Every structure is written in C-alpha cells, then in structure tokens.
Structure 1
Amino acid sequence: MGNLLKVLTCTDLEQEPNFFLDFENAQPTEAEREVWEKVDLVLKDARGILDELQAYKGAGQEIREAIQNPNDEALQKVAWVAVVPLVGKLKKFYQFSQRLEAALHSLLGALTSETYDNPTQNLEREQALAKQFAEILHFTLRFDELKTEGEKEVNNELANRISLFYADATPMLKTLSDGTTKFVSENKNLPIENTTDCLSTMASVCKVMLETPEYRSRFTSEETVSFCLRVMVGVIILYDYVHPVGAFSKSSKIDMKGCIKVLRDQPPNSVEGLLNALRYTTKHLNDESTNKTIKSMLQQQ
C-alpha cells in the first residue's frame, strides 16, 4: 500500500511506479459483491448493445426517396417499414444509457466512499469495482466511436429526449459526464476531492501500466492495451468536467503531458479517435490557463 501512495503522490514523474490494477482478472470480494452483481447485469447487456450498434444500418436511402416522391404511396410505406424498427432500436440505446448512468452512480458511491482513508485505497482494495468502472468507460468510448446517425421523429416526450441524446456527437460520454457531475452535486456531504482523486488515480494507474514494460507485459491480450487507453481517456474527460478548473490546469492531479505521450507512442492512427475525444469533448482544453505545450501536443497530427 505504501508503494502505491508513494507513486501516486510523488512529484517526481520519473520515479519508477509500483502498482498494477488487474483489469483482466479482478474478482469481487464479499464486500463488493452486492454492487458488483447489480452493475454486472448492465455490463452483460452492454456487449449486446455494441453488437447491435455495429450491425446498425440507417434508412437514409428509403427516407430520401419517400421525400422526393411524396405522392408515391409505395415508397412512403417502404420508408415507414424501414424507419419504425430503427426508432425502436434508438429508443433501446437511449434507455440503456440511463441504466448505465445508474450503474455509474453505484460504482462512484462505492469507490469514493469514506470506508477507507482515501479513494486511492478504495481503488486498490475494490479492484473488481474499479474494473467495472473501467469497463463502463471502455463501453462508452467504443459506443461513441460506432455511433451512427438515426431517424428519431416520434411525437412524444421520450422521443424528444432521444433526439437530444443522439444530437450530441458523443452521446454516451455526455451521459457519463453529466452523470458524474450529477453524482457530485447530489452528494454534497462527500468532498469533491473524493471523486476527482478517484478519477485522477485511475488515469495515473492506466498511464503507469501502459508506459511501464514490466506491467504492460502482464497483459495477456493486446486488447487490454486498447481497453486501458480508452479508460485513461475516459477518466480524464470525466475529471475535466467535475474538477472546478479541469484536467489541463497546473493544479490538476493528472499528468496530461504524460498521458498524451502514452497515446502518441501507440501505433499511428490507432488512437486518433481517443485524441479527438480529448480535443473536442473536454470542457477546459481551450481555457487560457491550459499549458501551451499540452495544446500543441494535441494539435499534432
């Protein structure tokens, strides 16, 4: 435990780290099990959601033909038949985002609780919940990478909310960002540092595991590297929304230069989507207080 605290609180960024968060094999303890089982149900459905999104095909052609030929009843029927199932699918995706937000709140409640001395201990001792938190972030960024445009015109309140959901370029990420902000505002008795420290610790752990050959060699699958990269970017974005001055300020507990370097060290074009997520979905990147070197590192192609 002392080694972990030493790594995450030291100011010497070149100091050799000594912490590994087992994203591949962490299993719940009895203390974690109640929350873990609740979140596990959501994560099992998340896999199916990604499969459906990958297989998703819009009805743009049918709709264009129907609009161009308003008096052709056959084309109107074809368009209607094509659109109705898609609206149902979009509704399903939106409703799942609400379940995901609820799961996020459960995990944040556990990982930021004052059961232990600090959130860092929570992450270390509740690795199965930390893994689930990572899986939610991984799903979120993967969903937004796969997201396609859909037709959403239905005359009811839910449909309007669905439309707002899909109008955002990264709808699932926005759901989590808003959900994390909501968690903080609804738990005013909990110091905001509990949440921001949890997020910055997760970012630091991911960075350390990715940049340290000894730890990276423990991954049994290359997919774990992609997983770790998405989680690192995801917690940076959440931190940037929740922390009063964001992830890019001098007072940030996230080593942004180090995190961006880790991304840049990956194979060309493999992390462009993640770099774009930092460029375009963070809240404070363009603040005057943001270090020019960080902006320059993100602007490089």
Structure 2
Amino acid sequence: MGNLLNLLSDRPVNPKYDVFLDFENAKPTESEQIVHGQVAEVLKRAREIEEKLKCYQGAGEPIRQAISNPKSEDLQMNAWQVVCPLVAQLKEFYEYSLQLERVLVLLLDALTTSDMTPVQHLEMQQALVKQFAEILHFTLTFDDLKMTIPSIQNDFSYYRRTMTRIQIERDGSEISDAGVSTEMANRMSLFYASPTPMLKTLSDVTSKFVTEHGDLQFENTTECLGTMATLCKLMVENPEYRERLGSEQSQLFCLRVMVGVIILYDHVHPAGAFARKAAVDVRSSIKVLKDHPHQSNVEGLLNALRYSTKHLNDEATSKEIKARLNQT
C-alpha cells in the first residue's frame, strides 16, 4: 500500500512535506528494531483474535433453557459447560487488549519523544507508523465485530451470576472452570461494558501517556495524531492518492486509521477534535465517510465517532457537525 503522503505540521496543507510512506513495504531501521520487534510479537496475533471473534457463537439457547428450567440440574450444568469455554475466550480477548496497551506506549514514546518534530517522526520511522496504523485498524475492526455480537454481554452476565451462586454454595471458594478469578471477572466486566472496548483502552492509555509526560509531550503527541488523521483523509479524498491506494480494502484501512486517530485526539486534547482550531478537520473527515460508495462498510466508523468521542456533544461543537454526523 505504497502511498504518497502530504504530511503537514498545521492546516492548511504545507506542500514542503512531501513524503512517500510505504505501509506495505516499510522496514524498520536499526534504531527502530527493538520497539518494532516487541510490537510485531503482539501484532502477529491480531488476525487470530479477529477470526476467533468472528466465529463467536454465544450460548444463547443453553442459557435460555437453564433460566426457563431452574430446577433442572442437567440444563444448568449444560449451560455452564457451554459458557465456560466462551468466557475463557473473552478472557483471551481482554488479555490481548492489555498487550496492545503495553506496546502502544512503546510506539507513542518512540514516535513523540526525541529531538525530531512529529513530521520527521512520521517520515523517518515509517515502520513504527505502520504498526501504529495496524493497531488502530485492528482496534476498530474488533469493536465493529463486538457491536454485532450482543451474546457477549449476555454470556458474561450469565457467567458472573452463576459464578457468584456457585461460590456461595462453596462457602466463598474461588472457581476456575473458565480460568477467570473474581478480580479478573470484574475487570473484564468493565472492559466489555463499553460498546467499543478496544478503542476505549487505547484512548485511556494515550490520555495517561500525555498526562504523565508534560506539556512538550502533549504538543508532540497531539500534533502527530492530527497529522496522521489528515494524511489518512487525504489518501481517500484526493483522486490521485486514492488511485495509488488501489483496492477498496486499502481505502478502508486508511479510513479506519483516520477515525481511530481522530478519537484518540479527541480524548487527549482538552478542547477535543471538534473544536474550531483543532488540528484535525472533522467536518471533511465525516464527508469522506459519508461519500463512501458502500455505506455498510463505514457505518461502524461513523458509530465510533458518534459514541466513542468525548467532545461531540460539547456546546462549542458546531451544530452543523452534530447534524451531519447524526444524519443517517
């Protein structure tokens, strides 16, 4: 997915930043090797996690049977035996989010903390930028899928209720049928309560990162995020760049990254992404999504902007932007 990217330090576009960022073939430089290797170790499981989530069937019928027949020990046991492997899988997804947390901090640190400007980081550390984009792409893909599987919440709620009952019957002893302790279950419950749990995880981590690293780090990080959002928009918006992208899959990759970066920016910057002077052009980003020929492929991205951003409903947010985004 070799792309000619106009990287800009501020709007309007500054033509002197004319950089070829090769998402498909970018290789780590010597200085990127250590971080790149650690991130790659985590990212290599992204497709596996995504496929497991796609195949998640849920325990709806066994749970309904068990609830409808509370005195049937056989039905209670069957529902428990069906739901435990599913909860073990949900635990796996949650633990993967913790791994993404860890490597995202590594990437943020590498891409924003040095004597280089944010634009120079994006130009000189293309392999790490690619990994950052891949994390965002996976995150939104995962959350899109999760929002179409209501049985996740139902299964986990049933598991917690049953676990509590069994613990009472065992005088408070922990159970390990799904390898989930009470403490782990509490943390998982908070994770899956969010409509976009992976994106919330990344937003929280990014906010914490800039809070802990002071004003200079805040400026570098928000400028980096703003620049990435703009360049991804340009890749799909500009006919020449869109032709270079080629397939619709590559265009969707850019759109997912664009939305992910906008949301991160909105959570990190006090004024948010919808402010008039924000480093991201939300209005034209929404237009790019709305103009996509296959709306079913981007509806999840529009929902992410509607429900995962922090400042959309602020009084300062343009009524036009609110109306445009909420228009179906």
* Same fold, judged at TM 0.5 (above): yes
Q: Which residue pairs with 1:180 in the alignment?
A: 206
| TM-score, L = length of structure 2 | 0.85
Give the Cα separation in 2 of the matches to 1:189 and 1:272. Answer: 35
- Does the alignment pair 1:9 with 2:3? no
Q: Which residue pairs with 1:87 in the alignment?
A: 87
Give the CA deviation at 1:22: 2.3
- Does the alignment pair 1:99 with 2:99? yes
Q: Which residue pairs with 2:58 in the alignment?
A: 58
Q: Assess, with a 3 A threshold, how the Cα gap between structure 1 residues 58 and 199 changes in structure 2: closer, same or farther.
A: same
RMSD: 2.0
Q: Is the 8 A contact 2:111 2:125 kept in 1?
A: yes
Letter aligned with residue 119 of structure 2 = T
Q: Which moved more, 1:258-267 or 1:18-27?
A: 18-27
Give the CA deviation at 1:208: 1.2
Give the Cα separation in 2 of the matches to 1:245 and 1:192. Answer: 13
Give the Cα separation in 1 of the matches to 2:38 and 2:18. Answer: 31
Q: Is the 8 A contact 2:143 2:196 kept in 1?
A: yes
Give the CA deviation at 1:20: 4.3
Q: Which moved more, 1:66-75 or 1:228-237?
A: 66-75
- Does the alignment pair 1:156 with 2:155? no
Percent identical residues:
57
| TM-score, L = length of structure 1 | 0.93
Letter aligned with residue 12 of structure 2 = T
Give the Cα separation in 2 of the matches to 1:144 and 1:75. Answer: 32
Give the Cα separation in 2 of the matches to 1:204 and 1:105. Answer: 22
Could you say what secondary structure the match of 2:214 adopts?
coil
Q: Is the 8 A contact 2:119 2:224 kept in 1?
A: yes
Q: Which residue pairs with 1:271 in the alignment?
A: 298
Give the Cα separation in 1 of the matches to 2:198 and 2:237. Answer: 28
Q: Assess, with a 3 A threshold, how the Cα gap between structure 1 residues 28 and 16 changes in structure 2: closer, same or farther.
A: closer
Q: Which residue pairs with 1:69 in the alignment?
A: 69
Q: Is the 8 A contact 2:6 2:13 kept in 1?
A: no
Q: Which residue pairs with 1:281 in the alignment?
A: 308
Give the CA deviation at 1:59: 0.5
Q: Is the 8 A contact 1:113 1:119 kept in 2?
A: no
- Does the alignment pair 1:204 with 2:211? no
Give the Cα separation in 2 of the matches to 1:74 and 1:243. Answer: 54
Q: Is the 8 A contact 1:17 1:208 kept in 2?
A: no
Give the Cα separation in 2 of the matches to 1:12 and 1:36. Answer: 30
Give the CA deviation at 1:189: 6.5
Q: Is the 8 A contact 1:20 1:209 kept in 2?
A: no
Give the CA deviation at 1:268: 3.9
Q: Which residue pairs with 1:294 in the alignment?
A: 321
Q: Which moved more, 1:17-26 or 1:94-103?
A: 17-26
Aligned positions of 1:193-232 closer than 5 A: 193-232=219-258
Letter aligned with residue 10 of structure 2 = T
Q: Is the 8 A contact 1:24 1:224 kept in 2?
A: no
Q: Is the 8 A contact 1:144 1:173 kept in 2?
A: yes
Q: Which residue pairs with 1:136 in the alignment?
A: 135
Could you say what secondary structure the match of 2:45 adopts?
helix
Give the Cα separation in 2 of the matches to 1:78 and 1:10. Answer: 60
Q: Which residue pairs with 2:174 in the alignment?
A: none
Q: Which residue pairs with 1:22 in the alignment?
A: 22
Letter aligned with residue 287 of structure 1 = D
Give the CA deviation at 1:221: 3.3
Q: Is the 8 A contact 1:247 1:254 kept in 2?
A: yes
Letter aligned with residue 144 of structure 1 = D
Could you say what secondary structure the match of 1:187 adopts?
helix
Which blocks of at least 5 consecutive residues in structure 2 are unaligned? 164-180
Q: Which residue pairs with 1:35 in the alignment?
A: 35
Which blocks of at least 5 consecutive residues in structure 1 are unaligned? none
Give the Cα separation in 1 of the matches to 2:253 and 2:16. Answer: 23
Name the count of aligned residue pairs: 296
Give the CA deviation at 1:163: 1.0
